[in-house]
A = this chain, B = another copy of it.
Amino acid sequence: MTEQHPQAPAPPDAAPVLRVGVLGAGTVGTQVIRLLGEQGPEFAARSGARLEITGIAVRDLDAPRGPAVPRELLTTDAIAVATSNDLVIELIGGIEPARTLILAAFKAGASVITGNKALIAAHGPELYAAAEAADTDFYYEAAVAGAIPVVYALRESMAGDRVTSVLGIVNGTTNYILDEMSAKGLSFEEALACAQELGYAEADPTADVDGLDAAAKAAIIASLAFHTRVGLDDVTVEGIRSITARDIREAHASGCEIKLLAIAQRRDDDHARGISVRVHPALVPADHPLASVHGAFNAVLVEAESAGRLMFYGQGAGGAPTASAVLSDVVAAAAHRVHGGRAPRESCYADLPILGPESAITRYQIQLRVDDKPGSLAALAGAFAVNNVSINSVRQNEYVGVEQAIVTIVTHPAPVFHLDAAVEALRREKRVLGVVSVRRVEGE
């Protein structure tokens, strides 16, 4: 079972043994179990403890599993695994029974490592409180963006700075679908079918394509970035079902890609103070770093007052990458049990107000069909100006008929109610023959 690696030292016999319980032996669980076996001596050298799996809780003892999962450790008694170990790794997913098991593990004095974004977004404060009461660790690096250490970056690396915004591609399924649509001109339905065939999308793709998975991650990101409790209900969500092949073609014509973004922004200006957290598709200029994030990869851009812009990029899902994140947490939690110390606690001291969708400030791209006569541009510009929306660029794309043209306008960042008022004014303007599209643009 344990294959000795040339790099690994024999663990010192004096190293204490920590008992490890694993809840769930799916894709990620199988990899975690395999790596705990193969790289055990290395984890021991790094943490100061030998990690010994004592039980693996599964729903079905007879389901087919890889050779890395030792049959003799399988059990259906999840509560026993949760309550009889030093470290409990929860990889079941979903709300229940994961929540009950984690609370029981804390009550039994265990440190808990999970990758369960839905559970944290829904019950984070309760889980943090249970860890606090038990004086043990609660780690969840794998909950956001797989192997990319986003949770750590926000929770610890940014502790000496003030984060102003986080912009991320955090759902590989939707990024894969949009990427296929972009590269091959497929419709949403065709690209979804491809993703399902390749195993990138579930048979029921709702959690991914409707943005719910990204929203849970956005809530976690915003909580950490802004030291404020943010739950799933605080996130404004729009998925990608309505994106058409034509939308993508038009985005390309404007030099952009369409990406599903998770966005957490702090506002502290004359109009609003608080944080805006949302998930929606947006145009991203082709030369923006997020535009070139392809396939199932994830990327997160953090902007902070002192650090400026940081970008983190890597595999956001998959058994081995997610296991890498889980195991870094396992090593950290094990080291704390040996040497003392603890993971950062919930930090919600800032307690900033959560702003509604109306407070989002974003750039917009508006395409208009206009009467191509002298003075039209001045009339358009006027409609934006009186509504306090400032224009970044204007481009005339194509002639669509006699004395008609399509004009594409990109604004500077503006609140949605200003934009709505400007669009309303444009509809009333006689030189505007039609509003073709209104889209959000992120990234500068």
Contacts and interface: CB of A to CB of B under 8 A. Distances in A.
Given A157-B141, A159-B327, A307 B45 contact: no
Contacts of A39: 162
B306 A162 contact: no
Contact of A160 (B35, B342, B347): B35
Given A308-B314, A312-B312, A159 B332 contact: yes
A339 interface: yes
State the oligomeric state as a number of copies. Answer: 2
A313 B314 contact: no
Interface string A138-158: 000100001111001100111
A404 interface: no
Contact of A161 (B324, B340, B352): B324
A7 B268 contact: yes
Contacts of A325: 157, 160, 307
A148 B339 contact: no
Contact of A328 (B9, B161, B309, B320): B161
A360 B186 CA distance: 44
Interface residues of A, number: 68
A289 B308 contact: no
B306 A321 contact: yes
A107 interface: no
Contacts of A6: 268, 273
A31 B9 CA distance: 43
A309 B304 contact: no
B311 A160 contact: no
Interface in A18-62: 31, 35, 39, 42-43, 45-47
A147 B273 contact: no
Nearest to A152: B157
A165 B217 CA distance: 29
Contacts of A332: 156, 159
Contacts of A344: 335
B324 A304 contact: yes
Among A8, A148, A161, max chain B CB count under 10 A is at A161
A326 to B, nearest CB: 7
Contacts of A161: 147, 324, 327-328
Contact of A341 (B266, B289, B324, B341): B341
A311 B311 contact: yes
Given A156-B328, A159-B327, A327-B160, A350 B7 contact: yes
A235 interface: no
Contacts of A42: 162, 350
Q: Determine chain A's interface SS by DSSP, over half rule.
A: mixed
A156 B343 CA distance: 12
B324 A314 contact: no
Interface string A315-327: 1000011011111
A17 B268 CA distance: 30
A306 B152 contact: no
Given A157-B152, A340-B342, A341-B342, A321 B349 contact: no
Contact of A45 (B153, B162, B347): B347
A330 interface: yes
A160 B330 contact: yes
Nearest to A321: B307
B315 A313 contact: no
A439 interface: no
Contact of A307 (B158, B226, B309, B314): B314
6 contacts: A5-B162, A7-B268, A9-B350, A39-B162, A47-B159, A309-B314
Interface of A: 5-9, 31, 35, 39, 42-43, 45-47, 141, 146-149, 152-153, 156-162, 226-227, 266, 268, 273, 289, 304-315, 320-321, 323-332, 335-336, 339-342, 344, 347, 349-350, 352
Given A46-B347, A147-B310, A160-B326, 12 more contacts: A42-B350, A46-B159, A149-B152, A160-B324, A160-B331, A289-B313, A307-B315, A307-B321, A308-B321, A311-B312, A336-B341, A340-B342
User: Which 7 A/B pairs are nearest by Cβ-Cβ distance?
Assistant: A341-B341, A160-B327, A147-B307, A149-B157, A160-B328, A306-B324, A310-B314
